[in-house]
A and B are shown apart, each in its own frame.
Chain A
Amino acid sequence: MNTVGVIFSAEFLRRIKSKAFLVGTIIGAASILLIAILPSILGGALSSSSKKIVLVGDPALTATAKTLLQRDFEITATLRKLDAAPTPAFLDAHGKASAVAILSRPVGDGLHVVAYARDPSAFRESFGTDLAPLQIALATGVPVERVAAHLNVTVDVHDVSGRFADASSADAAKGVAYLFIMMLYLSILLNAQSIMTSVAEEKTSRIAELLVSTLDPARLLTAKILAAAATGFIQLAVWVTAGAVSGRIAASMFPQHDGATASATMLGAFDVSTGEIAAFLAFFVVGFAQYGVLYAAAASLINRTEDLGSVAGPLVVPVVLGIILAQVALQFPNSPNMVICSLIPLISPFVMFTRVAVSDVPAWQLVLSLAINVGTAVLLAWLSGKIYRVGMLLYGRAPSLKQVLATLRA
């Protein structure tokens, strides 16, 4: 085994056994499970209580309204009139309802609804939509059933590229892409920072001197990056598996529950193509390579572990920027701005992966983005290697920017 292999295996085992890795991996997997299941549980629980209502008004009016509202609400009671404004105690007494809707038809006007709700914002839109046929029926004299039938427009949206069967598939793909982006973000950041901590430890404890006396600093750096990438892969594999499993769980727990929609639909449709996985791994590798060498070079310049924060701070900026732009790319994957962003090093791993996940990216753009990222990774590795070689043995006062630039020119 050569020295790169010795360092790689030692670093890999050290990382795999570290509490930080175990805790990070387990918490990450648990978070994915929670993201999938919790909204479903909460959504279901909340929806069942928030959709109980009491109807008040003329029986002819409330009877028709009841048939329309039953699609979204459970009617716990129907009353002719109220003696006083409803109170929470009144709602509790009528089937623990969340709202009271008072229907009236003022002379010359259409339908008028006054609602008293525990959560006022949750009702207005649903009431308006559900009761629209009644309003039209009252205004035109057309039977409400006919109005309702005509208002029910069937809309089928198809993906022009043929990639997604319908709009809900496209929505599910966005959800999965979002999950993958977060995993990419966490894995790159956590593992790049672990490289940083490792380099800082070796420098501040003077182990670096011993290592550099035995092997070339570039090899040392290579071994560290490879070990961190390998642990990153394992972490991602655990997270992706957790995502797939939790999707199935969410889908089976709440197969038709409206409250479960977002997460269960998203993860239930955890139907990720091989191409998507390949793109994910490719952009993880190039993204991680760039950030890994940058973090290592930055750590080699500090003299105390307490200074890590000051050098790590600026390096978080492109990662956060990448994540923000990825959110935009989820909505507008093929806008000219996003196409440009998907070719910019450091942020493109996030943006281009998002575009690949939710749209059909022309092959030339994908190849160009990967080429730019690989080229940048090689350039950064070369520059960082130079800084690392000098920085690891530079003790005393932290080097100025001028000294760092002089090192690069040397």
Chain B
Amino acid sequence: MGTLVLSGVARSFGDVVAVRDVSFTVPAGTTFGLLGPNGAGKTTTMRMILGILLPDRGSVTWDGAPVDLAVRRRFGYLPEERGLYGKLKVREQIAYFGRLHGVMPPNDTKRADAWIERLGLGEYANRPCAELSKGNQQKVQVACAALHEPELLVLDEPFSGLDPVNAETLLGVLQTLQQAGTTLILSSHQMWQIEDLCKAFCVIAGGTVRASGTLQELRSGWPTRIVEIEPQDDALRGVLDATAGARRLPEADRPVLAYEIPAAADTAALLRRLVAAGDVTRFERVDPSLRDIYLRAIGAAA
């Protein structure tokens, strides 16, 4: 297992700059979330990791060495848009992609059968992929990407188009791969799905890294905190309004007394002042969610 390092990679298509300057490190066995709005450069970055595109500038290394063809065969890739041969049967398709990554007969079909069973595709094993639903095609694609037990598996929007049941199945598969020590890089717009799964994140927008690190690291860099207090009492509100740097949040967002305070503010002292002013039944310091961090990083929220 190796460590993936991107150093100042950039890639343009004619006059369009897709990736301006992206650097991050993914330690071995880490599940890494690549976040960003549409057109941020996530897919281009993933393609550069996989050697599909060559960077105009910068470097991509795996275990300290450039990513060559031999290394790439130990990687797996689940593209955002499904890439399957419509006329090829499910079992043949999965086995074929296994062979492309060096899993030779009879192991290719043995492993294909194991994945078919694991993903509940048994009844479709001998049917052409074009006859499958989008969700089942996605499962086939996952099997194609993971059959050769890759050291690094790159998944571009893996949950896109999946119903909740299939999304849960995929989540289970990814957790199993995670436990097996596979390094995972995945992008998703559904942050709730990857927040628990990923150990580290990188937010990209406009082709540059806006924020990166573990959730803990990202939160520690957050400039404010939110405190939620109950009941909604005028005396308590008066204490909060008098606190330096505190800003009341709209009740519509949180049906409690909610204030944004500077991260450096002394919350223990604030709690003491509130208790002195009235009957506090609930006092909670809320850490920013990944969504909050993401929106601030891409500049969509103040």
Instruction: Spell out A's residues near B (CB within 8 Å).
Output: 1, 3, 6-7, 10, 14, 201, 205-216, 393, 403
Contact = CB atoms under 8 A, between A and B. Distances in A.
Contact of B52 (A3, A6, A207, A209): A209
Interface string B63-83: 000000100110101010111
A209 B99 contact: no
Contacts of B79: 206, 209-210
B104 A211 contact: no
18 contacts: A1-B99, A1-B104, A3-B100, A6-B96, A10-B96, A14-B85, A205-B84, A206-B79, A206-B83, A207-B84, A208-B83, A209-B47, A209-B77, A210-B83, A393-B47, A393-B52, A393-B53, A403-B14
Residue with the greatest number of chain B CB neighbours at <10 A, chosen from A1, A3, A6: A6
A209 B144 CA distance: 13
A10 B108 CA distance: 14
Given A10-B96, A209-B79, A393-B53, A214 B85 contact: no
Contacts of A209: 47, 52, 77, 79, 83
A214 B101 contact: yes
Interface string B35-56: 0000000000001001111000
Residue with the greatest number of chain A CB neighbours at <10 A, chosen from B14, B47, B99: B99
User: How big is the B interface, by class?
Assistant: 20 to 34
Contacts of A207: 83-85
A212 B248 CA distance: 53
B97 interface: yes
A216 B69 contact: yes
Given A206-B81, A213-B77, 13 more contacts: A1-B104, A6-B96, A10-B96, A10-B99, A14-B87, A14-B88, A201-B86, A207-B83, A209-B52, A210-B77, A210-B144, A213-B75, A403-B14
B99 A212 contact: no
A14 B53 CA distance: 28
A228 to B, nearest CB: 16
For chain B, what secondary structure do more than half of its interface residues adopt (helix, strand, loop), or is it mixed?
Answer: loop
For chain A, what secondary structure do more than half of its interface residues adopt (helix, strand, loop), or is it mixed?
Answer: helix
Nearest to B81: A206
B61 to A, nearest CB: 17
Contacts of A208: 83
B266 to A, nearest CB: 52
Contacts of A216: 69
Given A10-B96, A210-B97, A393-B52, A215 B85 contact: no
Given A3-B100, A6-B100, A206-B79, A213 B50 contact: yes
Contacts of B88: 14
A208 B79 CA distance: 11
A206 B101 CA distance: 18
Nearest to A205: B83
Name the 5 nearest CB pairs between A and B, nearest first. A206-B83, A207-B83, A213-B50, A206-B81, A6-B99
Contact of B100 (A206, A211, A403): A211
Interface of B: 14, 47, 50-53, 69, 72-73, 75, 77, 79, 81-88, 96-97, 99-101, 104, 144
Contacts of B75: 213
Nearest to B145: A210
B77 A205 contact: no
Nearest to A203: B83
A11 B50 CA distance: 24
A214 B83 contact: no
Contacts of B96: 6, 10
B28 to A, nearest CB: 20
Nearest to A2: B102
Contacts of B50: 213
A272 to B, nearest CB: 37
B85 A205 contact: yes
B47 A206 contact: no
A207 B96 CA distance: 12
A213 B46 CA distance: 11
A209 B44 CA distance: 12
A376 B84 CA distance: 34
B99 to A, nearest CB: 5
Contact of A213 (B14, B51, B87): B51
A215 B84 CA distance: 17
A206 B104 contact: no
A286 B144 CA distance: 36
Residue with the greatest number of chain B CB neighbours at <10 A, chosen from A206, A210, A212, A215: A210
Contacts of B72: 213-214
A1 B101 CA distance: 11
Contacts of A212: 52
B54 to A, nearest CB: 10
Residue with the greatest number of chain A CB neighbours at <10 A, chosen from B69, B83, B87, B104: B83
B74 to A, nearest CB: 10
Residue with the greatest number of chain B CB neighbours at <10 A, chosen from A7, A209, A210, A213: A213
A52 to B, nearest CB: 57
B77 A215 contact: no
B58 to A, nearest CB: 19
A160 to B, nearest CB: 56
B60 to A, nearest CB: 13
Nearest to A17: B87
Contacts of B144: 210
A211 B73 CA distance: 10
Nearest to A1: B104
B47 to A, nearest CB: 7
Contacts of A14: 85, 87-88
A205 to B, nearest CB: 6
A33 to B, nearest CB: 30
A19 to B, nearest CB: 10
Residue with the greatest number of chain A CB neighbours at <10 A, chosen from B52, B85, B97: B52
A286 B97 CA distance: 31
B86 A205 contact: yes
